[in-house]
Amino acid sequence: MGICRRRNTVPYAAVLTKDEDECGPTQPTEDVDAGVGQQTFIVTKLVMLRSIGVVYFFAFLAAYNQNRALLGSAGLSPAHSHLEQVRSRTAIDSFMAHPCIWWFWPLTDDRLDAVALAGVALSALVCVGACSSIVMLALWLLYFSIVTAAGGSSFYQYGWESQMLETGFLSIFLCELRPWSLSRTHPPSVATLWLFRWLMWRISIGAGLIKVRGDSCWTQRRCLWYHFETQPIPSPTSFFFHFLPKPILSAAIDLDLFVQLYSAWLVLVPGCGPLRWLRRMGGVIQAGFMFNIALSGNFSFLNHLTMIPALACLDDACWPVWLRPTEPAAANVPRGAPPKGQSSAMVRLGRLALDAVVVGTVGYLSLPVVENLLQLGGRQVMNSSFGSFRLVNTYGAFGSVGEARYEPILSISWDGRGWTELDFPCKPGNLTRRPCLSAPYHHRLDWNVWFIGFKPHAAMLRQREAWLYTLLAKLLTADELALSLLDSSAREVFRGPTGERRAPLYAKVDMWHYMMSAPLWELLPLWFRGGQPVVWWTREYEEPLIPVVLLHDGQLARAPLPLA
């Protein structure tokens, strides 16, 4: 079987009276595949838009559930303070430097939640097919507003934030230029499809180059020997991949670099005649590669988001017939009928002009990105932007891989003698708790805690994750917002006999070396059988990170020894 099968014309093809494919204008044909005739991307457009809607939905849902505790006025890193620091003389100047709605609609906790809820609602509509360029523009601006508000913290300093913004920006031009549309037969702009392919190429090439230029374990074919154990949030399947034979893991590195450095070029192959098979193959390889990575751990919405530009390589012949949309009026449109009225011609002309502007803008902004890939101005930098609107960015992941997993474990005590460890929703902690399956949902605090595991731990704590001190102070007051960031089992610890919240007297953070206990094929039968708890992790004590502290006049202070 080939990548895409030959298919007959379906009803919606009748409305494509005069379409433009990437090799020039063509007329509809009974054969939409077989290497000849017109290529259409209507199904591709619908799948891409709904996929973007799904990713937006989970991103905004996570923002609604966590942002008040992270960025609110009583959160770990209040966004209002950051916005005041970067505010310019006028709202327009502030917007051009730091795009968000907060310069025109001042930030409050309720409005922070309202933006996230509006994003959830709009993205849900996109998921069911009700979208337009106006809706996608609104989603882009809403998410940009959240990212900008979080600029003073490390909670949104991930490469996929810029990737979400760039993907969301391109999706604006994937839709019809109308306030609202339920149409399922309008073809996408060929120029926009090429911009998605250009994004896919940069993501793949950037990730491959940062690996061979970064950690030597990639070129020595050793990184995957420990990556699955030391990745941010392992899933149960990580216990399968980690224990595969080392020769297989080394061969997987060869495959990884081949996909990212060599097969990535296939997405830029023009779809003229038989060449479209190479482009299709490139899209399938990139999407399949991301799917495989998604199976190996919890990487937030990164892999799901990266699959989307790869889909731009697949024309409609690559999708099942049942995905083909139909509209009742489509069959009544004569083949080859000219557009009705002058307005249609004006719309087409306007669309061509808009495409020219967008392609020119992306092309110009791509110059420093290409220079970065070629290292013309110094070493390659990953996950960086070269403009305040983040329209074109650099990408990369796991340029370096830790060889051991070190976890900061938070503990509290009411008397200084008995200590209770606190679990986060997903990161390893309790040795017998099954690893979670959370992607594409993003537990942001769990991810940030992972960075403290890099040595020297104390330096990473001070330079990047200083919010941990604020979290400890809030836990010592049993702060409700801070408790919402913990696992439900940890929140129960703060409840007294009658259900009231009770604040502990002491807190501390210790570093532990965590190791996977056994392969998944040994642990799963024990887990399904039930009875005794299954030990997923083993650990060894390493060092104290934050010694025992208490609250003194509302501030964290080192507890005097011996403890009471």
pLDDT at position 80 is 96
State the alpha helices, DSSP H only, in 454-512. Answer: 457-463, 467-475, 480-483, 488-493
Contact between 506 and 563 (Cβ < 8 Å):
yes
pLDDT at position 57 is 98
Contact between 196 and 308 (Cβ < 8 Å):
yes
pLDDT at position 402 is 92
pLDDT at position 324 is 74
Contact between 395 and 382 (Cβ < 8 Å):
yes
pLDDT at position 209 is 96
Strands in 372-516 per DSSP E: 405-413, 420-422, 506-516
Read off the pTM. 0.93
Report residue 113 as tokens.
């939640």
Contacts of 542 (CB under 8 A, 6+ apart): 406, 510, 511, 512, 513
pLDDT at position 31 is 38
pLDDT at position 10 is 43
Chain center to CA of 338: 43
Q: What is the rounded CA–CA span in Å between residue 449 and residue 428?
A: 10
pLDDT at position 35 is 39
User: pLDDT tens digits, residue range 167-197?
Assistant: 999 999 998 776 666 566 788 999 999 999 9
pLDDT at position 34 is 38
pLDDT at position 129 is 87
User: pLDDT tens digits, residue range 113-127?
Assistant: 999 999 999 999 999
Which helix (H) or strand (E) element contains residue 496?
A: none
User: pLDDT tens digits, residue range 33-50?
Assistant: 433 446 899 999 999 999
CA distances from 115 to 61, 69, 198, 519 (A): 11, 15, 30, 43
pLDDT at position 177 is 73
User: With 0-12 CB in 10 A as exposed, 13-18 as middle and 19+ as buried, what is 240?
Assistant: middle
Averaged pLDDT, groups of 10, the chain, 564 residues long? 52 43 51 53 95 98 98 97 95 97 98 98 94 94 98 95 98 81 77 98 96 93 97 97 98 97 97 93 98 97 98 95 65 48 71 95 97 92 93 92 96 95 97 96 97 96 96 97 96 88 96 98 93 95 97 94 78
Q: What is the rounded CA–CA span in Å between residue 85 and residue 193?
A: 39
